[in-house]
């Protein structure tokens, strides 16, 4: 069994677009900005034996305010820029009640062929849906806390940090995941 780190996209890998202190995805590749040190941090995880996956909700496609082509253009850029195994996307909205939309764990379970040990894997996200999906999959959970104006819906992360660097340090340096 292999260890993995599941990463949300917007707010973890790239800069989220904030509107009224709520995060939104970039509308196109021109708005897409990879956060500082992400490449280096992902290489650290990869070099320590973790498989890296992006798991992202992109409901604006279902809502008709974003095209799937623009999302895929961003993902193609990520694939050539960062050491990511795969990117798994849910294009559905809440009313579609699909199994892949976080906080459900479906996106994390799409990696079957990699034989992942979820109990020794991590979900890093910046929103309650990410933490819910990680918990449902049986992963350790890390919240990058940007103090967004939203309810956590009762999902409490195992570790709260202020950036991806702190999350990576905790994964690599903490023998006791309960600190």
Would you please indicate which residues are annotated as catalytic (active-site) residues? 8, 10
70 — alpha (psi -120 to 50), left (phi > 0) or beta? alpha
Count CB neighbours of 48 within 10 A.
12
**Separation of alpha carbons 41 and 76, rounded Å:** 20
CB distance 118 to 5 below 8 Å: no
> Nearest Cα to 160, choosing from 175, 173, 141?
141
The sign of the dihedral angle between the CA atoms of 121, 105, 125, 51 is positive
Angle between helix 164-173 and helix 38-47 axes, rounded to 10 deg: 10
């Amino acid at each position: 069994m292999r260890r993995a780190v599941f990463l949300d996209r917007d707010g973890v890998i790239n800069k989220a677009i904030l509107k009224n202190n709520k995060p939104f995805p970039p509308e196109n590749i021109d708005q897409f900005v990879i956060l500082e040190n992400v490449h280096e941090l992902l290489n650290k995880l990869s070099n320590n034996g973790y498989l890296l996956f992006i798991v992202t909700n992109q409901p604006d496609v279902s809502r008709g305010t974003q095209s799937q082509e623009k999302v895929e253009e961003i993902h193609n850029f990520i694939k050539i820029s960062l050491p990511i195994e795969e990117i798994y996307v849910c294009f559905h909205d809440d009313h579609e009640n699909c199994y892949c939309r976080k906080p459900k764990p479906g996106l994390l379970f799409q990696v079957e062929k990699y034989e992942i040990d979820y109990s020794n894997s991590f979900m890093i996200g910046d929103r309650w849906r990410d933490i819910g999906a990680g918990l449902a999959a049986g992963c350790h959970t890390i919240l990058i806390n940007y103090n967004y104006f939203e309810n956590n819906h009762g999902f409490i992360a195992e570790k709260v940090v202020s950036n991806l660097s702190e999350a990576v340090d905790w994964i690599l340096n903490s023998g006791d995941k309960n600190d």
